Protein backbone atom coordinates (compact mmCIF):
# COMPACT_ATOMS: atom_id res chain seq x y z
CA UNK A 1 0.00 0.00 0.00
CA UNK A 2 1.00 3.58 -0.42
CA UNK A 3 1.22 5.42 2.86
CA UNK A 4 2.63 5.35 6.34
CA UNK A 5 0.58 5.61 9.45
CA UNK A 6 1.01 5.31 13.18
CA UNK A 7 -1.32 3.38 15.42
CA UNK A 8 -2.83 4.95 18.52
CA UNK A 9 -0.26 3.06 20.59
CA UNK A 10 2.66 4.49 18.62
CA UNK A 11 3.68 1.24 16.94
CA UNK A 12 4.98 2.32 13.54
CA UNK A 13 3.32 0.78 10.53
CA UNK A 14 5.42 1.91 7.60
CA UNK A 15 5.38 0.92 3.97
CA UNK A 16 8.42 1.69 1.85
CA UNK A 17 7.64 1.59 -1.84
CA UNK A 18 11.32 2.06 -2.61
CA UNK A 19 11.81 -1.52 -1.45
CA UNK A 20 10.82 -2.51 -4.99
CA UNK A 21 12.14 -1.07 -8.24
CA UNK A 22 10.33 1.75 -10.05
CA UNK A 23 9.26 -0.61 -12.83
CA UNK A 24 7.94 -3.16 -10.36
CA UNK A 25 6.16 -0.41 -8.43
CA UNK A 26 3.95 0.54 -11.33
CA UNK A 27 3.11 -3.09 -12.03
CA UNK A 28 2.49 -3.68 -8.33
CA UNK A 29 -0.03 -0.87 -8.19
CA UNK A 30 -1.90 -2.22 -11.21
CA UNK A 31 -1.80 -5.74 -9.77
CA UNK A 32 -3.05 -4.55 -6.35
CA UNK A 33 -6.02 -2.79 -7.92
CA UNK A 34 -6.84 -5.78 -10.09
CA UNK A 35 -6.57 -8.21 -7.17
CA UNK A 36 -8.62 -6.26 -4.66
CA UNK A 37 -11.23 -5.32 -7.27
CA UNK A 38 -11.95 -9.06 -7.47
CA UNK A 39 -12.66 -9.41 -3.73
CA UNK A 40 -16.07 -10.99 -3.18
CA UNK A 41 -16.33 -10.76 0.60
CA UNK A 42 -14.44 -9.29 3.54
CA UNK A 43 -14.34 -10.74 7.02
CA UNK A 44 -13.05 -8.90 10.04
CA UNK A 45 -10.50 -10.81 12.11
CA UNK A 46 -9.21 -9.97 15.59
CA UNK A 47 -5.89 -8.84 14.09
CA UNK A 48 -6.74 -7.95 10.49
CA UNK A 49 -9.01 -8.79 7.60
CA UNK A 50 -9.72 -11.76 5.34
CA UNK A 51 -10.54 -11.19 1.67
CA UNK A 52 -12.39 -13.87 -0.27
CA UNK A 53 -11.30 -14.12 -3.88
CA UNK A 54 -12.45 -16.23 -6.82
CA UNK A 55 -11.04 -19.73 -6.35
CA UNK A 56 -9.13 -19.99 -9.62
CA UNK A 57 -5.53 -20.85 -10.41
CA UNK A 58 -5.02 -17.47 -12.05
CA UNK A 59 -6.21 -15.69 -8.92
CA UNK A 60 -3.92 -17.75 -6.67
CA UNK A 61 -0.95 -16.78 -8.84
CA UNK A 62 -2.02 -13.15 -8.90
CA UNK A 63 -2.35 -13.06 -5.11
CA UNK A 64 1.09 -14.66 -4.71
CA UNK A 65 2.63 -12.12 -7.06
CA UNK A 66 1.01 -9.32 -5.06
CA UNK A 67 2.26 -10.75 -1.76
CA UNK A 68 5.78 -11.23 -3.19
CA UNK A 69 6.08 -7.46 -3.64
CA UNK A 70 3.86 -6.24 -0.83
CA UNK A 71 5.91 -8.15 1.76
CA UNK A 72 8.94 -6.12 0.69
CA UNK A 73 7.13 -2.77 0.87
CA UNK A 74 5.11 -3.49 4.01
CA UNK A 75 7.10 -6.05 6.00
CA UNK A 76 4.84 -5.74 9.05
CA UNK A 77 2.06 -7.74 7.36
CA UNK A 78 1.45 -11.40 8.00
CA UNK A 79 -0.06 -12.80 4.79
CA UNK A 80 -1.97 -16.04 4.56
CA UNK A 81 -3.30 -17.66 1.42
CA UNK A 82 -5.87 -20.31 2.22
CA UNK A 83 -7.11 -22.58 -0.54
CA UNK A 84 -9.97 -24.75 0.61
CA UNK A 85 -10.56 -28.26 -0.77
CA UNK A 86 -12.68 -29.06 -3.80
CA UNK A 87 -12.20 -25.64 -5.35
CA UNK A 88 -14.21 -24.01 -2.58
CA UNK A 89 -13.17 -20.63 -1.22
CA UNK A 90 -9.84 -18.91 -1.59
CA UNK A 91 -9.01 -16.45 1.18
CA UNK A 92 -6.21 -13.91 1.42
CA UNK A 93 -5.69 -12.80 5.00
CA UNK A 94 -3.72 -9.71 5.99
CA UNK A 95 -3.00 -9.59 9.68
CA UNK A 96 -0.44 -8.22 12.09
CA UNK A 97 0.22 -6.46 15.33
CA UNK A 98 -1.76 -3.58 16.72
CA UNK A 99 -2.16 -0.82 14.17
CA UNK A 100 -2.37 -3.09 11.14
CA UNK A 101 -6.14 -3.17 11.19
CA UNK A 102 -6.32 0.62 11.36
CA UNK A 103 -3.88 0.81 8.47
CA UNK A 104 -5.94 -1.54 6.30
CA UNK A 105 -9.11 0.32 7.12
CA UNK A 106 -7.48 3.59 6.07
CA UNK A 107 -5.81 2.38 2.89
CA UNK A 108 -7.73 -0.47 1.32
CA UNK A 109 -11.29 0.77 0.75
CA UNK A 110 -10.07 2.90 -2.18
CA UNK A 111 -9.19 -0.20 -4.18
CA UNK A 112 -12.13 -2.37 -3.15
CA UNK A 113 -15.65 -2.57 -4.52
CA UNK A 114 -17.68 0.05 -2.59
CA UNK A 115 -20.55 -2.40 -2.11
CA UNK A 116 -18.26 -5.01 -0.55
CA UNK A 117 -16.68 -2.35 1.67
CA UNK A 118 -20.08 -1.17 2.85
CA UNK A 119 -21.26 -4.72 3.59
CA UNK A 120 -18.09 -5.40 5.57
CA UNK A 121 -18.31 -2.11 7.43
CA UNK A 122 -14.70 -1.42 6.50
For residues 65 and 55, give the distance between their C-alpha atoms in angstroms, rounded to a whole number: 16
- Determine if 47 is a binding residue for another protein (CB under 8 A): no
The residues, any chain, with a CB within 8 Å of residue 26's CB and separated by 6 or more, are none
Q: From start to end of the chain, where are the E strands? A: 5-6, 12-13, 41-45, 48-53, 78-83, 90-95
Q: Quick one: which of 67, 102, 117, 120 contacts another protein (CB under 8 A)?
A: 67
Pick 59 or 117: Cβ nearer another protein:
59
Task: Choose one: 2-10, 29-37, 58-66, 111-119; the region binding another protein (CB under 8 A).
Answer: 58-66
Site residues (CB under 8 A) for another protein? Answer: 57-58, 60-61, 63-65, 67-69, 71-72, 75-87, 96
Amino acid sequence: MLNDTTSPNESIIACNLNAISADQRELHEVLSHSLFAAVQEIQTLPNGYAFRLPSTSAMILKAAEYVANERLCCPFFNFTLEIEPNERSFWLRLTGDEGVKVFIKAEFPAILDPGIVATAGL
